[in-house]
Copies of this chain bind each other. A is one copy, B any other.
């Protein structure tokens, strides 16, 4: 298999503000796997708060033996790339994605069938990033009541945003704090105000190291407390089963479709809710993630709507549902902005 990889900078439609800081771009690596006239694609997304970066992804990919890969069946190929080096989750996710794309295309089936999953059928949340009172109220009002909103919090705008959220009375939203609250008391107070405003769940209210405070919040809060920054793989689910009431699964964090599925089984065992998420990614990686829709109760797949130079076409957003194109593989096709 010929492996080509290239850096590609995704540009946001507008400055993206979350608790971890604001930015206008996200570095990614796009890769293609080609063999026997089948071309398959994968993407690693590398926001600045990850330990991986484009160089580490390209270095990982250089270690992969394409000749070896083409002699392996799908399960062996998956195991080979996952065991090749430790960590490197985003790099592995890109390659795992492309491998699934290649093998599903070769079998002329969609990726969810290759993974023995049901056909995806889901609605996505739509992200509202951090803003002041007017910006937040305006953004919430722009969306139909039927749209599930994911509102970013965790900054000095929280009080303004809380007032706007209460004022808007949107019936269907959750809040992602990105570890932005700094104490149990702050989290407890804000969580209760959000509950009164109709919020259904809170993602990562507290920093990763505040495990006891998070466990206490889980006990005392009326809302489902979902781990994002705290959880990468199955080992973390096991470790945090009494700390959070749900987990956010992302391919970039766990490194493969297979690990994502394993995490969802574990979550079920521990009665935890599952949110299927994405980072700043193009249509390629989000379409890939959509094949996992049946493993989750909640879906956060709107990343491509925030990107102004998306090099792939794929899932379609109809009202708040996502739909896969009826083609084999991941179902994402490079468009004229594709940099190879």
Q: Measuring CB to CB, which residues of chain A are less than 8 angstroms from any residue of chain B?
A: 11, 13, 124, 126, 142-143, 147, 302, 305, 308-309, 313-314, 316-320, 323, 325-326, 333-337, 339
Contacts and interface: CB of A to CB of B under 8 A. Distances in A.
Nearest to A143: B336
B305 A318 contact: no
Number of copies: 2
A309 B13 contact: yes
B305 A308 contact: no
A324 B305 CA distance: 20
A326 B325 CA distance: 9
B336 A316 contact: no
Contacts of A316: 313-314, 325, 333, 335
A313 B325 CA distance: 11
Given A308-B13, A308-B308, A325-B325, A335 B313 contact: no
Contact of A336 (B13, B305, B309): B305
B313 A318 contact: yes
A317 B313 contact: yes
Nearest to A142: B339
Contacts of A335: 305, 316-318
Nearest to A332: B316
A82 to B, nearest CB: 30
Contacts of A326: 326
7 contacts: A305-B337, A316-B333, A317-B336, A318-B335, A319-B336, A320-B336, A325-B325
10 pairs of A and B residues whose beta carbons are closest in the complex: A317-B335, A308-B308, A313-B316, A318-B333, A126-B336, A13-B308, A317-B336, A305-B336, A313-B317, A316-B333
Given A13-B308, A126-B336, 6 more contacts: A13-B309, A124-B336, A142-B339, A305-B335, A308-B308, A317-B336
B336 A147 contact: yes
Contacts of A317: 313, 333, 335-336
A335 B318 CA distance: 5
Contacts of A333: 316-318, 323
Nearest to A323: B333
A291 B317 CA distance: 21
A313 B337 CA distance: 16
A309 B142 CA distance: 14
A317 B319 CA distance: 22
A115 B316 CA distance: 25
A337 B318 CA distance: 10
Nearest to A13: B308
Contacts of A318: 313, 333-335
Contacts of A126: 336
Most buried by B among A302, A323, A336: A336
A317 B309 CA distance: 13
Contacts of A336: 124, 126, 143, 147, 302, 305, 317, 319-320
A147 B335 CA distance: 11
A136 B137 CA distance: 43
